[in-house]
Chains A and B, each alone.
Chain A
């Protein structure tokens, strides 16, 4: 009897232990550290809310926050719309489509580090292929990674390029699960294409759409490799986002207290977005 009662707890124990030690405890510890001034080597000095004060009054932080939000918006909109369109285009199971799907998917299995290298070479302002092509068609060269107005968008391009295959494949699979009779019925009713989209396609795809938007939002906050390898937060902090900012202050300047405060901010941001998301769009997901 006793064993049967304890059994489920025992079964979830290893997983919950790992989660507790490596996700929950660090978050709590980080919250604790955010009230101190510490460089990991000397003594911890309690400074109350000073880190938060510094953070909120710092123009750099505000820029970083803005960058993160801009990055999230651009990457989610681009990734979702492009993958949807691509899936629409590739949904028939032909040999050409399968080949294209495979090529589009290939970057997903490759490390982001390698992708970042390929694109930093591609986007090199003096010797890169992109600028060469632009010059060929008579357009001016773009300073992809050195122009503060462009750099962030360049990084968005790279991450969308990498993740497109994953999202496209999910959409394609979802397309295949829409029962054909629904479209047949619509055709018989002489429904217009847009109405078909709104009343059949979109609702049927909504669980997948919901999932893809959510994963892209979360992924955008985690962006690190491209920044670390291609721009190091520059030029002029235009590509510094929250995750990289935390890394800089924690691991380069060793200002642990401040980095922890920023971490708390990031967590709140992700949490708020997730809750808002579930409350608004989540309600509109159509489950069968």
Chain B
């Protein structure tokens, strides 16, 4: 009795594992396959699952469909700049909210939290108008400034700073260490994991951001990769799925590689967050 029960659950478990793997791996395999097919091979029904002659030109065509290197550079510049700005604005703010008490503190913190509920889709029109009037459109600043801080980051980091035991700080203060040194030598090292996690999240969301670049750029100068991928859709001679998937692959592979290597770090980051 017990053994058949165990066998059932083992088979059941195996089936679920297969199902999950299928749901998550097949789409990628399909994308890979499509990216090396020719247009004729793609638009057939029933579809084929193997390619006799891979069409490597698809990748060249995808890369020349938009200014790939320029967009890549822009993505790097914008992402790194935003991470730096966030560090510069979030760390002092979180520290202040965590370790000082000042008038209006609660209200100001509540305002910061409330701003987390305000998505880009709501404020893009006024921001576009504001930046247009200042002639900022199509500059790096136009993409960096709206994301120069992170209310979520302030919230998380404040938690972390609050967890530093009061005694440690007291001891340092008794030693007549300056507030600034306290921050650098004690608080920052403790906060490093949280800051690293936040930086990682910011990088992922900024690198992949489609909406802000879509509405804030009118030409190629500061456009980022997601817009480049999106432009692959434009084709009048039948939907160019093969080029689209090839371009998609080129964009995805770097971040997947980073992810594969950083996997441990990412899981750690989540465990950290889960421990709120």
Contacts and interface: CB of A to CB of B under 8 A. Distances in A.
A230 to B, nearest CB: 10
Interface in B74-121: 88-90, 92-93, 95-97, 100, 102, 105, 108, 111-112, 115-121
A220 B149 CA distance: 23
Given A30-B122, A119-B27, 4 more contacts: A7-B100, A12-B97, A14-B93, A260-B125
Interface stretch (B53-61, B163-171, B191-199, B247-255): B247-255
Nearest to B92: A11
Given A107-B24, A170-B270, A250-B125, A118 B256 contact: no
Contacts of A221: 119, 121
* Chain A at the B interface: SS class: helix
A267 interface: yes
Contacts of B71: none
B47 to A, nearest CB: 6
Interface stretch (A20-28, A71-79, A194-202): A20-28
A243 interface: yes
B270 A173 contact: yes
Contacts of A170: 270, 273-274
Interface in A126-141: 126-127, 129, 132, 135
Nearest to B183: A11
A124 B215 CA distance: 28
Contacts of A247: 121, 124, 215
Interface string A252-288: 0000100110010011001100100000000000000
Contacts of A10: 92
B50 interface: no
B34 interface: yes
B30 A259 contact: no
A236 to B, nearest CB: 21
Contacts of B229: 111, 113-114, 117
A24 B20 CA distance: 43
B105 to A, nearest CB: 8
Contacts of B111: 16, 19, 24
A243 B121 CA distance: 6
24 contacts: A9-B96, A14-B148, A16-B111, A18-B89, A18-B148, A25-B130, A30-B122, A30-B126, A101-B267, A113-B210, A114-B226, A114-B248, A118-B248, A121-B245, A127-B241, A170-B273, A172-B274, A173-B270, A177-B275, A218-B116, A221-B121, A222-B120, A228-B230, A243-B119
